[in-house]
Structure 1
Amino acid sequence: MNKNKTDKIIITLTTWSGIALLLGLIGWGATYFFNGYRYEQTNDAQVDAYLSPINAKVGGYVSSIYYKDNQQVKKGDTLVLIELDEYGLKKDAAAAELMSAHAKLPILAVNEETQLKSIGVIKAQLTGAKARLDQQQKEFDRYKNLLADESTTQQKFDKVSASLSITQSDYEQTKASLQVAESKLNDFSAQRNAIQAEIKLKETLLQRQELDIRYTVITAPFDGQIGKKTIQEGQLIQAGQTLAFLVNKAEEKWVLANFKETQISKFSIGQAVSIEVDAFPNEKFNGVIESLSPTTGARYSLLPPDNATGNFVKIIQRIPVRIRFTDKSNKVAKLSAGMNANVYVLKD
């Protein structure tokens, strides 16, 4: 009797369990088909955000690291120091070269002053040479007339003629010396321009060395959370090398959902979207379609598919759809880039 009663109880429990399971399946099926009727959905979606790389602007050995994995940092916080010794020596060398270039200007000024005095002396000599030439020319003309009147000898006339030639030569030589001196003075002006250009170049090089020294201190460009530390103290890094990634918590986040090409025919910008994030299964997020990709996701791959072959198999492609959150920023702030999501786009 007890055994029959027990069997009846088991049968009853089994029956009710079956009924409950059936009702559950019916409810799940109804929900699935209801959602399928109201929404276009995909689970091929992730939360995304901009990852800003922290790059080294100069190379060198890492002196100190002031951050840890996943650390919150403020704008201007020092993250990495690069050894300064080499850049300090380069700055000293650039400063010395600049001083050397500046020192050339006083020397050039003295040379210009000396040259001006030399030009004054040559001009005075030229005046005297011109006076002697005029006097000798008059003497030559007088003896020429005397020779014509046979009042002097040919010997005296030849002597006067030779003196005129010598005086003429002295004058021309002094005149040429003045031209050379003035040309040299112009050379000094050109040298001054060259020295000033050299000073400008040396100043720029010094500023560059000072800039490189500032670049040895790598700071956070904005408030955010830094990612994994991939460098160690004493490590040699190169200019342009990525040292870490910084995520701006205040920056915009979005969802990138890959819908099948058969689902997007009625999608439009601003269309309402419901989002479920796997990390927060009991919480709903809201958004709108911000843009649709102009190409399928496969077109962005390293080797995009080429269907112009004999063995063609049609595969449904996916279109990346960017979805902007419409929830308050403090609600979205807890989401991290890379989190998986389910996306439901409300049909019009």
Structure 2
Amino acid sequence: MATKIENSSKRADRIIARITTWLAGLLFVALLVWAGVIGWRLFQYEETNDAQVEEYINPINSKVTGYIRKIKYKENQAVKAGDTLVVLDDRDYVLPVAEAEASLANTQAQLEVLGSNVQTSQRTSQASQAQIGAARARLEEQQKEYNRYRQLLADEAVTRQQFERVETALQVARSDYQALKGNYATSLSRVGEVRAQRPVLLAELKRRQVALQKAQLDLSYTIITAPYDGKMGRQTIQEGQLIQAGQPLAYIVNEDAGKWVTANFKETQLRNMHVGQPVKIKTDAYPDQVFNGRIESLSPATGARFSLLPPDNATGNFIKVTQRIPVRIQLTDKSERTVQLAAGMNALVTVEK
């Protein structure tokens, strides 16, 4: 009986030893395969998990100061270019438009009055010119009369009193002629003076037109619209809130500009990378999907050099640290696949050597 128990115990030990040996062998083979795969991937690919999906996220700013009257969007809402997002109280901007319109109308009326004055001055000068012709004719006639009486006086056919009366009439006719010529010159000068006011009024008219356009532009800024197709971010404003010119009101993700991945590779990994190289991308959000891309550009400097306070190795505290170079990767898949990606998602980027 004891011999049977002893034999059974030895047989169980041999089975356990055999199973343990097989398990150890399988584990060893698995470790070899795993090491081989890892080694092959390290030899064949460059990888980094220091990568994120990127999109253009731009602020929407107010160009004028005012109170918010109506908010037309909701958080995470998709919008189209030109959709109204925020409406401001426009009462402070309607009055300047009316004032600018009135000033423009006043300047236009002044131009019309100026044109009428030019016509009146021209008619006055034409009348003066006609009177000059009549005065010249009277002067010539009076000159002939004077010459005749002077000859008669020499022949003692007329009295001195008659001759002096004719001489006085000649002087009066000459004075009238000179006065009319002076009036004509003055009327021409007045026409030139009135015409010289036209460029001044035209410049004023242009200034008034620009002022009206500026007032209308400020009025149009009270309606804030989406600059392009995109998706709105978090809403941080409320109706009735006072906002200042230049203040960010919301953030919009620009869907027209597309998406890309920024992968920060170590400087030791860039040896075989070049623009146009194909890339495989996996994201933590969708680990079962592989997205295709290609290298669009490599940064001209390390990420540390673009930081707010770049490191200075001349300070005496130098410690050699492997630097990373941002690599921009363009997604080449169709938009139906990439639309599910959002800015800021973590990604695993693999580049074949």
TM-fit CA distance, 1:145: 6.0
Give 3-state SS (helix, strand or coil) of 1:97's partner.
helix
* Paired residue type of 2:337: K
> Does residue 32 in structure 1 map to residue 35 in structure 2?
no
Q: Are 1:284 and 2:301 counterparts?
A: no
Give me the TM-score of the superposition, normalised by structure 1. Answer: 0.81
User: 1:99-122 CA deviation, whole Å, 9 max, x = no partner?
Assistant: 222322443344334333322332
Residue pair 1:57, 1:215 contacting (<8 A) in 2 also: yes
What do residues 141-161 of structure 1 show as CA deviations (whole Å, max 9, x unaligned)?
556667888988999878766
Which letter maps to 1:333?
V
| 1:315 has 2:321 as partner | yes
CA distance in 2, matches of 1:248, 1:136: 94
Query: 1:191 is matched with which residue: 194, 197, 215?
Result: 197
Identify the residue that residue 258 of structure 1 maps to in structure 2: 264
Q: 1:226: which partner in 2?
A: 232
2:179 maps to 173
Where 1:337 maps in the other structure, the secondary structure is coil
Matched letter for residue 187 of structure 1: E
Query: Does 2:132 align with 1:126?
Result: yes
Change (3 A) 1:157 1:263: farther
Q: CA deviation at 1:77?
A: 2.4
Q: Which is higher, the Rg of structure 1 or of structure 2?
A: 2
Distance 1:219 1:336 in 2: 23
* Residue type at the aligned position of 1:273: V
Distance in 2, matches of 1:190 and 1:68, equals: 59
The AA in structure 2 aligned to 1:320 is P
Instruction: Measure the CA separation in 2 of the matches of 1:311 and 1:34.
Output: 38
Change (3 A) 1:147 1:228: same
Structure 2 residues without counterparts, runs of 5 or longer? none
CA contact (8 A) 1:116 1:185 kept: yes
2:63 to 57, 65, 69: 57
Q: Which runs of 5+ in 1 are unaligned?
A: none
Structure 1 residues 208-248: Cα deviation after superposition (integer angstroms, max 9, x where no partner): 43333332211223332101123222223333433222113
One-letter amino acid of the counterpart of residue 261, structure 1: E
Deviation at 1:46, TM superposition (A): 0.9
Distance 1:32 1:165, change over 3 A: farther
| Paired positions, count | 337
- Give me the whole-angstrom Cα distance separating, in 1, the residues matched to 2:244 and 2:150: 90
Q: Secondary structure at the match of 2:234?
A: coil
Q: Report the AA paired with residue 242 of structure 1.
A: P
Q: Is residue 250–residue 333 contact of structure 1 (8 Å, CA) maintained in 2? A: no
Contact in 2 for aligned 1:69/1:227 (Cα 8 Å): yes
Q: What is the aligned counterpart of 1:236 among 230, 235, 242?
A: 242
- The offset of 1:81, in angstroms, is 0.2
Secondary structure in structure 2 of the residue aligned to 1:34: helix
TM-score for the superposition, normalised by structure 2: 0.80
Is residue 350 of structure 2 the alignment partner of residue 331 of structure 1? no
Task: Tell me the secondary structure at the aligned position of residue 320 of structure 1.
Answer: strand
Shift of 1:314: 3.4
Q: Deviations over 1:52-74 (max 9, x none)?
A: 33232333221111222222223
**Secondary structure of 2:294's partner?**
strand
2:106 equivalent to 1:100: yes
Question: Aligned residues: percent identity?
Answer: 50
**Residues 228 and 256 of structure 2 are in contact (CA less than 8 Å); yes or no, is this contact kept in structure 1?**
no
Give the letter for the 2:244 counterpart: Q
Please say if residues 94 and 206 of structure 1, whose CA atoms lie closer than 8 Å, have aligned partners that are also in contact: yes
Check if 1:89 corresponds to 2:95. Answer: yes
Distance 2:171 2:27 in 1: 135
Which residue type is aligned with residue 193 of structure 2? D
Question: Whole-Å Cα distance in 2 between the matches of residues 51 and 323 of structure 1?
Answer: 18
2:56 aligned with 1:71, yes or no? Answer: no
